[in-house]
Amino acid sequence: MRKLISVLLAAVMLFSLASCGLHDSSTETSVVKTDYDVQAAIKPYLDNLMEMTEDDKNYQIEMGYNDCDHMVTAIIGEKCGLYEALGLHVNVTKSGKTKDGLVSGEMDVGYASLTGMLKAGSEGAPVMIPAGSHLGGSKYIVVRTDIEKPEDMLGKTLVISSNDMVQPNWRSFCNQIGIPFITDYYEQIDMGSSEKNIALKAGQIDGYIDCDPYASIAEFEGIGKIVGTEWGAAHVSDDRTEGWGVHCGYYLNTDFAAAHPALAQRLVLAHCLAIQYMYLHPYNAAMMFADGFGVNPAVGLRTIYIKLCAEGRTICYKIDETNIQNYKDYYASFAIPENKRPVLQYLEQFVDTSIYDTLGMVDFYEFIKNEVDPLYPIMMDYADFLETAETIDGIDHSSTVGKEVEKWMNGHQIVDELDQTKRLCEYDFSGDEMVMTWDIDPETLEKGDLYKDYKAGTLQ
């Protein structure tokens, strides 16, 4: 049964007030002056830009981004001077209401999750995806550090709901770990992202699903560990170069784009160049992230490393029909019922790269091949990546920033697997319906064989 206990939530919030330093042991960052020349960065594209009208020159652009690592491009565009160099007046706001703002027109441009925006677009909201942003990865299940085997998770309080049983990421996590997907085997609670680590540290919850910086905060503080990661695509290749779909997005309000096409074009250019900056100046990008999200610089470094290196080149301004198809296949690959999937058929018309196509932007993968791969290959160990990032941005190698967590400094591992010799169940997603089989006698479990009830349609 879903555990929504107001007393518990009140206790969590009280602990929040008492422990506001949970992930803020040092939020002083080290953004430094680099050799980045913003005028040189925009110069190859200036001849392709439309002239701005006087109204454009005086227009205040409202940009929003959610509190999640995939949205960091918004901050970088501001802090490295791209918006100013392109003549844009941009007010950047971190807000969980970015989707609502884009739909209503209160925001002109923004970064937000895909499924909610896709639904809004299919219902006629004036929004579009003009370029790629985040291809996948970076969705984690985090649990207490003393949880060692799959059985340890049964009966624990997790930030999940019964709706997760028909979500591909939960099914994937359960398959990775070897635990039943039926959420009644766990105590369930609802909680916002910013509250989860506070509650984890207080012992009010035992685990949650979220993106970075939250997972890296848990590891940095020593209060949790990542035991599963989800790619958001059906079949990402082992070398992390193929199979990516679409995760969180970069959006324009289409009414704004129609009224101010020159501004929309420059915003898309700034978005692409900010992504390039992230790859070319990863240390500084991490410090910008730490500033913008109010986290420890070490968390910023780890987050940027995972996005740009450990999981692949997942921040990417190119998007095409391959990504769209991979995203569609993602739901089928976990046997999600058709009536529980997002409005996937709308995705093709939701993605409109016509503005991007006017820029003459260097192909993303050519950029990576020529300018990034020689610096740090995919899945380079974190310690080596950090040393490279320090060298690029002139940081003394004696700095201890980002080097505090032993796990991070010992390879490129993200997931701490629970004991796979103690798996509770297995999954088969090859048919129209998912099949779960037990590795143990489920009648020995406290709640018995709930899968039997689930298949019979009697699970309440």
Residue 270 · residue 256 · CB < 8 Å? no
pLDDT of residue 460: 56
Residue 319 has pLDDT above 60, yes or no: yes
pLDDT digits (tens, 9 = 90+) for 216-270: 999 999 999 999 999 888 889 999 999 999 888 999 999 999 999 999 999 999 9
User: Which of 4-8, 66-70, 243-247 has the least mean pLDDT?
Assistant: 4-8
Query: pLDDT band at 458, cuts 50/70/90?
Result: confident
What does pTM read for this prediction? 0.91
Nearest 5°: the CA angle 399, 400, 404 is 165
pLDDT of residue 343: 83
Residue 104 has pLDDT above 60, yes or no: yes
- CA-to-CA dists, residue 320 to 60, 249, 323, 374, 400, angstroms: 31, 13, 6, 25, 41
User: Which of 133-137, 179-183, 360-364 has the least mean pLDDT?
Assistant: 133-137
pLDDT of residue 347: 83
pLDDT digits (tens, 9 = 90+) for 191-202: 999 999 999 999
Gap between the Cα atoms of 324 and 315, Å rounded: 16
Q: Which domains does the chain carry?
A: 39-136+245-379 (3.40.190.10), 138-230+416-456 (3.40.190.10)
Gap between the Cα atoms of 173 and 185, Å rounded: 15
Residue 11 has pLDDT above 70, yes or no: no
pLDDT of residue 10: 43
Residue 106 has pLDDT above 90, yes or no: yes
Q: What percent of the chain has pLDDT over 90?
A: 78
Query: pLDDT band at 28, cuts 50/70/90?
Result: low
pLDDT of residue 66: 83
Residue 17 has pLDDT above 50, yes or no: no
Q: Is the dihedral of CA 309, 315, 318, 321 positive or negative?
A: positive
- CA-to-CA dists, residue 15 to 9, 161, 216, angstroms: 10, 23, 20
Q: What percent of the chain has pLDDT over 70?
A: 93
Indicate the pairing of strand 207-210 with strand 425-428.
unpaired
For the packed helices 297-305 and 214-221, what is the interaxial angle rounded to 10 degrees?
120
Coil, strand or helix: which one is 278? helix
For 204, residues 6+ apart whose C-beta sits below 8 A from its C-beta are 8, 11, 12, 15, 157
pLDDT of residue 259: 98
Query: pLDDT band at 29, cuts 50/70/90?
Result: low
- Read off the DSSP letter of residue 372: I
User: In this structure, which amino acid lies at residue 343?
Assistant: V
Q: Is the dihedral of CA 105, 111, 113, 119 positive or negative?
A: positive
pLDDT of residue 118: 86
pLDDT digits (tens, 9 = 90+) for 435-449: 999 999 999 999 999
Residue 16 has pLDDT above 50, yes or no: no
Residue 206 · residue 158 · CB < 8 Å? yes
